[in-house]
A and B are shown apart, each in its own frame.
Chain A
Amino acid sequence: MPIRTVFKAQIDHLQILDENGVLDEKLAKDTLTDEQVVFLYEQMNICRHLDEVAFKLQRSGRMGTYPQNKGQEAAALGSGFAARKGKDWLVPCYRENAALFLHGLPMEKILLHWMGDERGNQIPEGVNVTPISIPIGTQMLHATGMAWAFKLRKEDRAVITYFGDGATSEGDFHEAMNFATTLNVPVVFFCQNNQWAISVPREIQMNSETVAQKAIAYGAHAIQVDGNDLFAVYKASKDALSRARSGGGVTLIEAVTYRLGDHTTADDARRYRDEAEVASWRAKDPIIRTRKYLEGKGLWNDTRQQEIEDRAKVIVAEVVRNAEGIESPSIDDIFDYTFETIDPELETQKRTLRTSSLGQKPEQAGLEAERR
């Protein structure tokens, strides 16, 4: 018997808006309108400003550890915009703030989360996003299960789930891809390949040339896109979501982007990566690129830039006020939300805590005087 090839594969890379803000008109057909690009560009600016303010809040001790989203706004917004608000679901990691806001998540929820307050995860009814997910990669299985439920109930919905390049090393990524494809549920896997998993670069993280090719083993569709290109991200996500909803299969999208900031405020990326590399990616910043495009089309100028930056300041200032102004959480909550109905042991512990100094505010326990 001769040797024959039983399987061949290739991975396509999609770019529509290049680094100089030049658009491939043909590929851009039926993607984003001028009005939509302006709107998304404004969102990028608002989210970038929130990101910078969040960083400062952490540095000034007003917020805990925070992972900056800086540089990845096009990946979040292009994909989030492709999902239908109120119908499709977003199951995020923690660098997709812009997509979550687009789907109605109040911005202060994100700050609350990083301020150490569970109410940041208390997503309002009707906002189809799940809370930020901290352990790496586990949320992909939840997304798959949710999509499975929608399929069983024959609901017209799809789920898009986000994760990083590092998460593709986790078993849950592979289990989720395998479950999703064997069950053929309407889920899209969106990898924000930002090149770094804390200090470990993509080349050490995996031996495969692309993240996208991992889809092939599971019989999923695969595409690599320029993750800083709003148009390419939008198109690939829209195609993948439509395909998912129509039962046409699961897609893995690899959005090639870059983490311009540190992993979190607790990290210092200068310890492990070259400034030259960061500088080269700074030039590919999605905000710069999108602005160039809009200016080229006469849709943007310095005045409008000033306007959006001023507006971002007003919006974010109010978000910070709301997040900082919320009343303190009650220690009762930790007991009351463990189960729907509190059990006798927890009730006893709750009562004990309330009647001991540990359960009281410092002044109630007489500690205030001591502190003075």
Chain B
Amino acid sequence: MANLTLVQAINLALTQEMEADSRVVILGEDVGKNGGVFRVTEGLQARFGADRVVDTPLAESGIMGTAIGLAMAGMRPIPEIQFEGFLGPAYDQLVNHAARFRTRTRGAITVPLTIRVPVGGGIHAPELHSDSPEAIYAHTPGLKVVMPSTPYDAKGMLISAIRDPDPVLFFEPKRIYRAFREEVPEDEYTVPIGQAKIVTEGTDLTVVSWGASVVQCLEAIDQLPEDVSAELIDLRTIYPIDADTIAASVEKTGRCVIVHEAPKTCGMGAEIATIIQERCFLHLEAPVQRVCGFDTVMPYYKLELEYLPDAKRIGEAIGQCLAY
């Protein structure tokens, strides 16, 4: 066991999978000598060579498109898109090709690909470096979308993603890259894609969140009166969504607050609220609440902490939900 940050846990997973499987290659902007702008790939080029950890030209469609070609030809590429705001130029390749090859060839061509992308706000970054576009990709058939919030999950889920036979969009919440450490086993292990995690068990109310917001939720739950028993679910995988875990929890508590950084309209909160009304209608004691970003452009960093859900807003929503 080692006490690692999320960045270190991801680096360890990459190292071990590259060690274990010669088909695994990393490509992206600044991922080689520089070790990535967040140092996630630090030391990997020195260890595995410039053929397997490749500094590409600065072109996201090129990165995604050539990664697809590598995967089509039997490799296990891990392209990095430097920030979620730059997924735009790669969108066509990701959505119209990576996600469709298996189905449009009825299984003849597959694209086992893990796309690593730092995501979300809260680090005082420049424009287009702080968005949360996970719902856009959850709405893309053929893509799996994950967003771990702890070092342990990050390592296990990244290994699952790399070994997955289909494309996985692996979002890394940059706000908590180095926010805390956690014991992470040295050995390889997997955390399955498609399984949410119950972070804290409770009986009065369910809170569903993912990514960096999980930390804000924990803070909000800590500040609740002692007699309130809240259950916190870390979704971990955005698609395929673990509806069973959510439904089981809400059947028990009858109340739910959903928290995410992304804009409210058509965010994953809307999907989760629908799952709850489909599956837990007669168990509900209160309307499902959403604490989200707003349907505005993500503000520059002076205002970003007001945009992002914080413990205060989450706490208020929990209070309202309980009082209903």
A interface list, Cβ under 8 A from B: 118-119, 121-125, 130-131, 135, 138, 140-150, 152, 171-172, 175-176, 178-179, 182-183, 333-334, 337-340, 343-346
Contacts and interface: CB of A to CB of B under 8 A. Distances in A.
Interface string B32-53: 0000000000000000000110
Nearest to B69: A145
Which residue among A123, A149, A344 has the maximum number of chain B CB atoms within 10 Å of its CB? A149
Interface in B144-185: 144, 165-166
Which residue among B62, B110, B144 has the maximum number of chain A CB atoms within 10 Å of its CB? B62
Nearest to B73: A149
Q: Please provide the 7 A-B residue pairs with the shortest distance between their CB atoms, ordered closest to farther.
A: A145-B69, A141-B65, A175-B62, A149-B73, A343-B240, A145-B66, A142-B69
- Interface footprint category on B: 35 or more
B168 to A, nearest CB: 10
Interface string B215-247: 000000000000000000000000011011000
Contacts of B93: 138, 141, 172
B270 interface: no
Nearest to B60: A175
B69 A143 contact: yes
Contacts of A140: 65
Contacts of A144: 65-66, 69
Contacts of B70: 145-146, 148-149
23 contacts: A119-B106, A121-B108, A122-B105, A131-B109, A135-B92, A140-B65, A142-B66, A142-B69, A142-B97, A146-B69, A148-B66, A152-B52, A171-B61, A171-B89, A172-B65, A176-B65, A178-B59, A183-B54, A337-B103, A339-B102, A339-B142, A345-B240, A345-B243
Given A175-B57, A344-B243, A339 B166 contact: yes
Contacts of B202: none
Nearest to B68: A142
A138 B62 contact: no
Interface string B81-107: 000000001001100110000111111
A141 B96 CA distance: 13
A283 to B, nearest CB: 39
A131 B105 contact: yes
Contacts of A182: 57
B73 A138 contact: no
A332 to B, nearest CB: 11
A143 B46 CA distance: 28
A125 B109 CA distance: 10
Contacts of B97: 138, 142
A176 B107 CA distance: 26
Nearest to B237: A343
A131 B104 contact: yes
Contacts of A338: 102-103, 141-142
B72 interface: yes
A138 B75 CA distance: 19
A152 B76 CA distance: 12
Contacts, number: 133
A337 B102 contact: yes
Given A130-B72, A138-B96, A171-B61, A340 B66 contact: no
B194 interface: yes
Nearest to A339: B166
Contact of B62 (A146, A147, A150, A179): A179
Nearest to A135: B96
Nearest to B106: A122
Which residue among B92, B96, B243 has the maximum number of chain A CB atoms within 10 Å of its CB? B92
B319 interface: no
A143 B69 CA distance: 6
B74 interface: yes
Contacts of B89: 171
A118 B72 CA distance: 18
B31 interface: no
A133 to B, nearest CB: 9
A294 to B, nearest CB: 37
B318 to A, nearest CB: 28
B105 A145 contact: no
B146 to A, nearest CB: 13
A339 B66 contact: no
Contacts of A178: 57, 59, 62
Contact of A179 (B66, B72, B102, B243): B66
B57 A152 contact: no
A175 B69 contact: no
A149 B56 contact: no
Contact of B107 (A122, A135, A175, A343): A122
B105 A118 contact: yes
B67 interface: yes
